Amino acid sequence: MAACVTSVSSENATINSQPGEPPAQPRELSRRIKHQVLSEGFEKVGIVRAAALDDEGKQLREWLDRGYQGNMAWMERDPEVRVDPRQLFSAARSVVVVAKNYYTPAKHTDDRATGKVSRYAWGDDYHEIISAKLRSLLAWIKAEVPQAEGKVCVDIQPMMDKAWAARAGLGWIGKHTNLITTEYGSWVFIGELLLNLDLEYDHELVADHCGSCTLCIDSCPTSAITEPYVVDSNKCISYATIELRDLDLPQTVAENLEGWLYGCDICQDVCPWNRFEQTTDEYRFLPREGNVNAPLSEVLELTPKTYAERFRGSAMKRAKLSGLQRNARALLE
């Protein structure tokens, strides 16, 4: 599609036409951006104004005050940046929020000689895949609006991804604190593109459809979901097996691993909305060999060199070699 805009301000980008052409309106550009998002392979998209997440920010501070972040010290640093994307990208006017389905139909086994791996880490590292798609989207937008600027955010940036996805109408935050979509359940990766463009914004939210269901709360073996919509990371198997850097797992976790080596999907596996899962069309999310159930003996035999080779381009490298081997030993005790 030929570009019909030539001039925008980096602080407050407005769309101007070339001489003799009608001005492109935010509505039309938003429509084109959403179409391009789908062309990049994302299943869901919403666009909202870049503004402070006041209510969500209050909840974040209460969560931090309870110490529920465990040893994730980065969660405590500059919470105002997490709350307001303009602190991260000062020119931000709009937030394009996307979701990518990552479900694949493989199943865990109960082989006690192996450790179960969280579904999100079965294939290639989603950070790289989602980031590449968003960078491609940003390049397309810059071709349409030459003065457009943006920032790609995928999990590792200080953005409240799930809160933005809910605000953009992609789904709702479930009692297990994951985003749930009506089409794909909670098996989705979330990303954002901050733009210095004024666009047409989505205002329709998805209602909370959890109702009276408490399956996720009742099924958590460590009672990490302390109340609906609140997770204490200190009790969470996923946090302990991925983020925790201690030499030993907390006793409550170690005694209730239920076979999990890396991460935990229990609260998602029992969610009724995940009966509506659909197989992803992204082949890079298909399971790598040994990434659904990892042989514990092989994990314990890894060296720094073989570890780097084994998990190159995998999200499982997040746990570090020492963490994976600690988890394997706990499963064998």
Residues 215/266, Cβ–Cβ less than 8 Å? no
Here the tokens at position 122 are: 């079965």
Give how many domains the chain has, as a whole number: 1
Binned at pLDDT 50, 70 and 90, residue 20 comes out as very low
Quote the tokens at residue 61.
């501070």
Q: How far is CA 255 from CA 177, 178, 187, 269, in A?
A: 24, 25, 27, 20
pLDDT score at 253: 97
The count of C-alpha atoms lying within 13 angstroms of the C-alpha of 326, restricted to the half-sphere facing its C-beta, is: 19
pLDDT single digits (tens) 141-161: 999 999 999 999 999 899 999
pLDDT of residue 36: 98
Mind listing the pLDDT tens digit for each residue in 232-277? 999 999 999 999 999 999 999 999 999 999 999 999 999 999 998 9
Whole-angstrom CA distances from 108 to 24, 197, 257 are: 51, 45, 14
The rounded percent of the chain whose pLDDT value lies above 70 is: 93
- What residues make up the domain containing 281? 1-333
pLDDT tens by residue, 314-328: 999 999 999 999 999
pLDDT band of residue 79 (cuts 50, 70, 90) is: confident
User: Is pLDDT of 22 > 60?
Assistant: no
Catalytic residue among 65, 125, 155, 246: 155
Instruction: Identify the pLDDT of residue 24.
Output: 60
Nearest one of 104, 141, 109, 94 to 126, comparing CA atoms: 104
Give the model's pLDDT for residue 80.
86
- Is 155 catalytic? The answer is yes
d(CA 34, CA 276): 24
What is this structure's pTM? Answer: 0.91
The residue among 300, 269, 290 whose CA lies nearest residue 186 is 269
